[in-house]
Amino acid sequence: MSKIILYNSKTRKKEPFYALDEKNVRMYVCGPTVYERAHLGNARPVVIFDILYRLLINIYGFQHVDYVRNFTDIDDKINDRAKSLQVDIKKITEETIEWFLEDMGELNSLLPNSMPRATEYIDEMIDMINDLIKEGHAYSREGHVYFSVRSYPNYGSLSGRSLDDMIAGSRVEISNLKRDPLDFILWKPSTNDLPGWASPWGRGRPGWHIECSAMSKKLLGASFDIHCGGSDLRFPHHENEIAQSQCANPNDHFANFWLHNEMLQVGGKKMSKSLGNFYTVKDLLDENIPGEVIRFILLNTHYRKPLDWTKTRVDEAKKILNRWRNQTNDITPGEVDPSIIEALSDDLNSVAAISRLHKLSRDGDFSKLLASAQFIGLLMVVDEKKFSPTDNEDIIKSISNILLQSRKKAFLNNSFTEFDTLKQAVLEAGLEVQVSRDSLKVVSTENFDVAALKGIVDE
């Protein structure tokens, strides 16, 4: 079995990765707060940790890797946006989740095994908060519940900050209800115009940090392998996750490995709406910058280094990918170059992997170039998103996406058995599936029977 080396933010050094259970490798990635379109900075961790997911699948097998990425669908930013637009909060979250999945799909990212929403795990959050109170790690005041930071001696170990530095910093919320300025919110009251749930402390809603601790425990267990996110989450979010999780589950260790990607700049400056250099993924797609061009650029800087998005990079990526597509036209994918796996196994060195693709292109090894590029999500089959007019258009679109995801996984596993079985079931339901190397299209026929798809769309 190939050896993976990862930089562990927890220990601040590269370490060999060993799964707690090779039959159940578990990874949690902090997902978006869903109140507006995903921007380029949101896309970077999705693409980077999609590479990690693909690598783990390659080494341990698809059925042995469990990837969870959450949606934060309860947050004051969501409440404020719904209020400003005078629309229902659920309309904001549902629409934004749909946008996010569409945009990340355009970047050829595989879907995680689970995509939990915070609002679906309120009971688990309340249970964890109750446990923290019972063990003396949290306290309630006037409908608020706070975590007592000084009750956890190792607080600050992930971010490398001292308690004095944290107090002097600007990331500490001030409240006269706190026993200590460092303490952070686990539960807060909700007024009648805000989302709220019944709890032992009154009607309210959870704080941000508790959701990931509760969801990861429910879906992956109190101890799991890898926790990922942007470097901006290292403190306070991930620091707080560790503290509350370790205190609620003292006999477990939460996440073994922590991976953090660095931030993204545009033209050498921090991406900001006020500077006019703020781009959502949809903005770029609408400017005819294909998703695989965005993906190529996000992968062509090592994830632990800041990435600078420039027009020059876009133009160069387009030229390279066009050349590779022309070289692999009508070519059947061969074997993935072992050097690609070797590069990615060295702390997700996607830059070295892309360098290897350049060499395969120069050497004329086009079948290996195609297979290797597809392994990292480039030169993939394109979902043309063309559907015949039908009352069941949404269902057909869903089937198309399911088939596309299955085909992506087939390339990773070098086995199309599952895809072919799924495709046959879709054909038997009366849909036509048109597949070529570069496209996948689902078309309705007069024999289309929606009921025959039961169990396929639901999955």
Read off the pLDDT of residues 93-145 as tens digits, 9 standing for 90 and up.
Answer: 999 999 999 999 999 999 999 999 999 999 999 999 999 999 999 999 999 99
**184 with 236: CB under 8 angstroms?**
yes
> What is the rounded CA–CA span in Å between residue 38 and residue 458?
26
Per-residue HEC secondary structure of 2-19 comes to CCCEEEECCCCEEEECCC
CA separation (Å) from 413 to 63, 122, 335, 399?
Answer: 10, 36, 11, 21
Q: Per-residue DSSP letters for 63-90?
A: GGEEEEE-BB---HHHHHHHHHHT--HH
pTM of the shown model: 0.85
Query: What is the arrangement of strands in the sheet containing 204-206, beginning at the earlier edge strand?
Result: 138-141, 144-147, 184-189, 204-206
Look at residue 426 and tell me whether its pLDDT is greater than 90: no
**177 with 141: CB under 8 angstroms?**
yes
- The domain locations on the chain are 5-261, 265-375, 382-453
- Where does residue 259 rank: exposed (0-12), middle (13-18), buried (19+ CB within 10 A)? buried
Which of 5-14, 262-271, 361-370 shows the lowest per-residue confidence on average (mean pLDDT)? Answer: 262-271
pLDDT digits (tens, 9 = 90+) for 257-313: 999 999 999 989 989 888 888 999 999 999 999 999 999 999 999 999 999 999 999
The CATH number that domain 5-261 falls under is 3.40.50.620
Which of 30-34, 156-160, 175-179, 383-387 shows the lowest per-residue confidence on average (mean pLDDT)? Answer: 383-387
Look at residue 384 and tell me whether its pLDDT is greater than 50: no
| C-beta atoms surrounding 80 within 10 Å | 11
pLDDT digits (tens, 9 = 90+) for 214-228: 999 999 999 999 999
Q: At what angle do helices 350-363 and 291-299 cross, to 10 degrees?
A: 110
